[in-house]
Every structure is written in C-alpha cells, then in structure tokens.
Chain A
Amino acid sequence: MSKAIITDVQKCLACRSCELACALAHCQSQILEESLRESPQPQPRVTVEACGKFAVPIQCRHCQDAPCMAVCPTAAIQRHSESDPVLISRDKCIGCGYCIEACPFGAMEVTNDGKAVVKCDLCIERTQVGQPPACVTACPTGAIKFKDVSNISADRRKITAAMISESLDNE
C-alpha cells in the first residue's frame, strides 16, 4: 500500500524541526554534534515555506507522472513500482538541474557542492525498517503525518462530519 506525507496546514508552527530532522537523517554520522563538522554540510530535503498566516513544509510529492523523472537525461530519477517513492541515484546524477526546473512545487535543490540534486526520498532507509520518515517523528504538533493514501479521504470524511455536527450543535 502506498503511503504519503500529509500535512495539516493549520497545525504547523513553522518551528522547522522537520528541516533539522531531515538534514540529520540524511547526513553521514546522523549525530547532531558531529554532523556540524561534516563536509559536505548536511542539507534538509524539506523546506518550511511561510505565506501569510500559514507555514507549510514543502517536500517532494512523489507525483504519479513525475515530470522530473521524464526530464532527467541520465535516467538517474527512477521509481521501482507505482507505490514506491521517486528516488534520485546519486551516482548517476550530473547536477544539470533539469528536474529542478520541471518540479512544479520547487521541491528539489542542488547539493551544497553543486554537483547533484537532492530531494525527499520518503526516508526509504527508515521506512524499510518500519520507522516513519524523520520529519514525521520530529514534528512536535503532529502536523506532518505518514498515512496510507487510501485512508486520506476516509479521514477527510470524518473531519467533515465532525465539522457539520459541531455547527449544528452551535445553532
């Protein structure tokens, strides 16, 4: 079953814990104190973007028809099956930035050394051993969730029902 990172926009505090956890989960030592001395410097794959009253962590949406995958000239961006995340192979990536241009969400970034591109990999190493992605664990308000895609609309229905019953109660 395919799972996705879902954000509850109204819960995000813009504390950027997810960015920190993400950078840490993708660095060599995975230890905060040591990671500061690492070269290349750790880099998050999620960016908390503010707009008006809201802030939202933006990361790769792992699109079904991923345009980055279509445009990559070295086929470095691949997914194993439809329910798997879209992944970049570091070995094959040449840093041309075609994918950055193709991504409609601006979710991809060049590495600090400019030689490759990185983006959210849905913490594939963590999910393989049954842990949720690092940003999900780090979020103090539970704004980021890792959910079965098929549960999303069921959850939405419950929220809508609750909202209706609440407004009826108020009348």
Chain B
Amino acid sequence: MAKIKTIIDGIEVEVERDSWAIDVARELGIDIPTLCYHPALGPYGACRLCVVEVTKSKWTWLATACDLPIREELSIKTNTPEVIRSRKMAMELIMARAPRAESLFPLAEKLGVTKPRFKCRDDIGNCILCGLCVRMCDQIIGVSAINFANRGHKRIVTTPLHKKADKCIGCNVCVEVCPTGHVKTLDDGSFRHMQTWDADLEMLHCLICDKPYIPAKQFKVISDKLEGIELKRICPVCRRKETVDNLRYAVVEKVS
C-alpha cells in the first residue's frame, strides 16, 4: 500500500493511504475530543468536536478529523485559535440540546463552555443525536431496532412508529456507547427492561444457580453466530465453577 506523508502538529509521519486523520493523530498521542466517533464504526461526522485545521498547498480549511481520509500530503493542526473557537461553538450547541447531560460537563469545561448562550432544550432528554446507538444496532449488532425519526430540531432516536421495539435483543450496547446516558435499561429478575425503547426482554436463567443472566433473544443471536459450538446455558460464574469441578475429578482420579 502506498505511503503518504502528512504533518500533524509539526510531527511528520508516513501513513497508509486512506487512513483516517483521527486515528493517525491518536496514534501520535494527540488528543482530539470526539463524541460521535467509535473505532468499531465507519466515519460519521455528527458532533463536529473533532474539527482540525487542514492545509494543502495554499489552501487552509477546517475539517472533521473523524471522516478525513488522508489521500495526499496534508498539514494538519489540531490546536489553532480557529479550531478552538469552532469546537467551543459545537460544544455550546450540544450543551444547549442536552443541558443536563452530566457526563458531558468535564468535556464542556475543557472546551471552555460553562453556560451555553442559546436557549436550552429540556424536552428531549439527554440525546445529542450522535447516532452511536443507531449505528451500533444496525451495523454491528445487525438488528436495527432503533433509528432516527423526524427532521431538523424535531429529530430524535426512537423505535419504529414509536411503538415497543420488538426487534430489540437486549444486548445493551446502546446503553454502553451512549455518551450522555440517555439510553436507560433496568434488569429486574426475569426481565430486562430497555426503558428508552420500551422493550421488555425475557431473561434466561442459569441451569445451575437459576440466576437470570442473559436475554433469551441475545442468547439466540449468539448461538446462531457460533453454529457448531454448543453453548452451555449456564452463567459465567457457574461455568468457572464447572471448570474447577471437572479438574477436581481429573486430579482425584490421578491421585488415587
């Protein structure tokens, strides 16, 4: 593969053609704030926090690093006044949309946003429309139980027709990737409630200790994916105990 020369914050590197600028920068230990980027997903460019200043011959412009492929010699700066100003504005807009998203406060403060100058929304929870949950559910889990609905300022993430998400398998990935904690889930005994998507999933109980440990639908997806390997239907803790138990017999046999 052809190597391409690039300069990031004065550091000259040779990278493979079509590497994403964000990955190159992070490899060099350069900190670029992101909210909608995930290394397991393709480029998206929704939050605009990863903005950097790009120079090619005599042209200079701002670009989002997470969807900037390096195809020719570029000079990238991640810390110019222009970049800082642009990031601050993006963060202000995000904070106006989700003013109560506590997990964003440290980042907002770092970017110099304490109180957004704009009118704050308080009717849509903490969702900032980064699309991580939607993309994970579709591209990685392959279920697509949720998606965007409406346009403009009415845009939200929701289930088809705002009804119960019957396709949801309860894997909880949306909960884990959501940067603002907007997606909520609750395990109570035999059910996992995906509260935000209004789905109730039946849990499988461990055949040994009887504790609920995985949603039945998720179990099915995993065992289909691992065809040929039979899953044990017991929880990880009991699986460890079983391993030791098997060893015990092996040892006892050998000793006696």
Contact = CB atoms under 8 A, between A and B. Distances in A.
Contacts of A116: 176
A58 B140 CA distance: 30
Interface string A32-69: 00000000000000010111111110100000000100
Interface residues of A, number: 41
Given A98-B222, A98-B225, A74 B232 contact: no
Contact of B247 (A54, A101, A114): A54
Interface in B165-185: 171-173, 175-177
Interface residues of B, number: 36
Interface stretch (B51-59, B118-126, B236-244): B236-244
Chain B CB within 10 A, most for which of A47, A73, A100, A104: A73
Interface in A70-103: 70-71, 73-76, 89, 91-98, 100-103
Mostly, the A contact residues are loop
Nearest to B185: A114
Contact of A95 (B172, B225, B237): B172
Nearest to B176: A95
Contact of A73 (B38, B141, B175, B177): B141
B245 interface: yes
Nearest to B214: A101
Contacts of A58: 240, 243-244
Contacts of B136: 94
Contacts of B81: none
B10 interface: no
A58 B229 CA distance: 21
A50 B255 CA distance: 19
A106 B231 CA distance: 12
B247 A56 contact: yes
A71 B231 CA distance: 12
B85 interface: no
B39 interface: yes
A6 interface: no
B248 interface: yes
Contacts of A52: 245, 248
Interface string A10-28: 1000000000000000000
28 contacts: A9-B247, A9-B248, A10-B255, A47-B240, A49-B244, A51-B248, A54-B244, A54-B247, A55-B244, A56-B244, A67-B229, A71-B226, A74-B40, A75-B40, A89-B39, A94-B38, A94-B40, A95-B176, A97-B218, A101-B214, A102-B222, A102-B226, A103-B239, A106-B237, A106-B243, A108-B236, A114-B172, A115-B177
Given A94-B140, A100-B236, A114-B175, 16 more contacts: A9-B251, A51-B241, A51-B245, A58-B243, A73-B140, A74-B40, A89-B39, A91-B40, A94-B136, A94-B177, A96-B141, A96-B176, A98-B225, A101-B231, A106-B236, A106-B239
